[in-house]
């Protein structure tokens, strides 16, 4: 799923566009015991409660694509009878009305979800009548030819509210506040089936994790059965290793800056496209070649890629590139530059010492204080001569 498709589904979590038919849930305590369950038609809930649930569901489809939101594919065997995808299909087709299927799902989550405190498992069934689109991208409500039927799961911590004083209006007094159990925003969740190309894709799922570096492998393996992708951090580490191994002793400042500039240019060129920019083995090799890496060095890349990359899945450009800054770090100094202005930083040999040189303009501040950079004496004397003349 891309950003536009995710946004389209999120828009359904409003009173005017709501397509949710049923909501179910199971409250689990820290001892992995089921405390209570809910199973209701969503549109019968009080409006105030609906809005709270909308917030949770929107959060389950929020975050950075490729980090908090991860597209995952089911292996073929999971679609056979008894597989994880087949079970999720049964759950969806039941429209969450089969208590036995629901309990089996809750048991799967409780067994695989490693969380030592109370939490709430929420499930909704929704049937979105997908509007057609004209050639210029405008939605045509009366031109729908598909209903996107799906389930969404959100697993939310349930914690005691903080202690404190509260004003009790009926007594006109301040007293110790009653601590309630509060349902917080989800830690993990998923949307099944995926909504790819604005259509149902039963072979894929969109997975949400609050912590982009903790994909909850136990839950993914046992409940979803999908191929676990590399985290954003792992992708960046592998990309850095590929560069170091490929360049070897020629891993110079200019060489790495050229790679950064090439990668940044590609991301900027495609930033308006809804689909994320992906780099497979060939793309990375071409990136290095276009950045000036010599042909013989690219042989090192082939070997390093085979040794370093466990999964052949492509990497996301936003994960392997620093799109917020161009950073140069020494033990005592860290320099951060706008990612599109790496040209402001260069290396020079001054008085026999290698130095980093930063081009600056008149707008310079030190600890928030505007300062003046004195001109070299030769330029200053030239200016004085002009004034005297």
Model confidence over 344-384: pLDDT tens digits?
999 999 999 998 898 887 788 888 898 888 776 655 455 55
Residue listed under structure tokens 């939490």: 119
Phi, psi of 201 (to 5 degrees): -130, 95
Which neighbouring-strand residues pair with 159?
182
Phi, psi of 63 (to 5 degrees): 115, -175
Alpha carbon distance 251, 288 (integer Å): 12
Phi, psi of 288 (to 5 degrees): -65, -40
Q: In the chain, what are the domain boundaries?
A: 3-229, 233-320, 326-388
Model confidence over 284-313: pLDDT tens digits?
999 999 999 888 888 888 888 888 887 667
SS3 content of the chain, % helix, strand, coil (to 5): 35, 30, 35
CA-to-CA dists, residue 231 to 262, 276, 373, angstroms: 23, 15, 44
354-357 LR contacts (CB < 8 Å, sep 24+): 356/328
Give residue 367's region: left, alpha or beta (phi > 0; psi -120 to 50): left
- 358 token code pair: 């930063």
Judged by DSSP in three states, 76 sits in helix
Predicted local confidence at residue 364, as pLDDT? 87
Residue listed under structure tokens 């071409």: 286
Peptide bond into 64 cis (omega under 30): no
Judged by DSSP in three states, 312 sits in coil
How does pLDDT run along the chain (389 residues), one tens digit per residue? 999 999 999 999 999 899 999 999 999 999 999 999 999 999 999 999 999 999 999 999 999 898 999 999 999 999 999 999 999 999 999 999 999 999 999 999 999 999 989 999 999 999 999 988 765 556 666 667 799 999 999 999 999 888 888 888 888 888 888 888 999 999 999 999 999 999 999 999 999 999 998 999 999 999 999 988 888 889 999 999 999 999 998 899 999 999 999 999 999 998 888 888 899 989 999 999 999 988 888 888 888 888 888 766 788 888 888 888 999 998 988 989 999 999 999 999 999 999 889 888 778 888 889 888 877 665 545 555 555 54
Burial class (CB in 10 A: 0-12, 13-18, 19+), 201: middle
pTM higher than the cut 0.85: no
Q: β-strand 364-366 against 369-371: which pairing, if any?
A: antiparallel
């Amino acid at each position: 799923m891309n950003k536009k498709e995710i946004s389209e589904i999120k828009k359904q979590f409003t009173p005017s566009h709501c397509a949710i038919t049923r909501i179910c849930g199971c409250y689990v305590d820290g001892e992995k015991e089921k405390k209570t369950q809910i199973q209701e038609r969503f549109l019968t809930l009080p409006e105030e409660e609906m809005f709270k649930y909308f917030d949770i569901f929107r959060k389950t489809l929020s975050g950075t694509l490729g980090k908090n939101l991860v597209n995952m594919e089911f292996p073929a065997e999971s679609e056979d009878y008894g597989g994880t995808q087949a079970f999720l299909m049964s759950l969806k087709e039941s429209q969450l009305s089969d208590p036995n299927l629901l309990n089996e799902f809750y048991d799967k989550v409780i067994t695989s979800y490693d969380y030592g405190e109370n939490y709430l498992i929420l499930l909704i069934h929704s049937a979105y009548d997908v509007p057609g689109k004209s050639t210029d991208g405008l939605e045509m409500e009366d031109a729908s030819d598909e209903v996107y039927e799906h389930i969404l799961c959100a697993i939310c911590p349930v914690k005691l509210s903080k202690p404190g004083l509260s004003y009790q209006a009926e007594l006109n007094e301040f007293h110790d506040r009653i601590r309630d159990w509060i349902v917080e925003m989800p830690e993990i969740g998923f949307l099944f089936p995926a909504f790819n190309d604005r259509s149902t894709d039963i072979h894929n799922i969109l997975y949400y994790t609050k912590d982009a570096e903790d994909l909850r492998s136990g839950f993914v393996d046992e409940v979803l059965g999908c191929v676990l992708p590399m985290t954003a951090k792992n992708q960046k580490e592998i990309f850095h290793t590929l560069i170091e191994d490929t360049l070897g002793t020629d891993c110079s400042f200019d060489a790495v800056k050229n790679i950064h500039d090439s990668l940044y240019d590609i991301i900027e060129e495609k930033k308006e496209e809804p689909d994320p920019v992906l780099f497979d083995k060939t793309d990375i090799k071409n990136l290095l070649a276009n950045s000036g890496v010599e042909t013989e060095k690219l042989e090192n890349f082939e070997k390093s890629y085979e040794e370093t990359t466990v999964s052949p899945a492509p990497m996301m450009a936003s994960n392997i590139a620093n799109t917020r800054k161009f950073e140069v770090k020494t033990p005592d100094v860290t320099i951060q530059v706008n990612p599109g202005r790496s040209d402001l930083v260069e290396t020079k040999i001054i008085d026999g010492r290698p130095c980093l040189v930063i081009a600056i303009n008149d707008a310079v501040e030190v600890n928030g204080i505007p300062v003046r950079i004195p001109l070299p004496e030769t330029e200053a004397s030239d200016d004085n001569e002009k004034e005297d003349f």
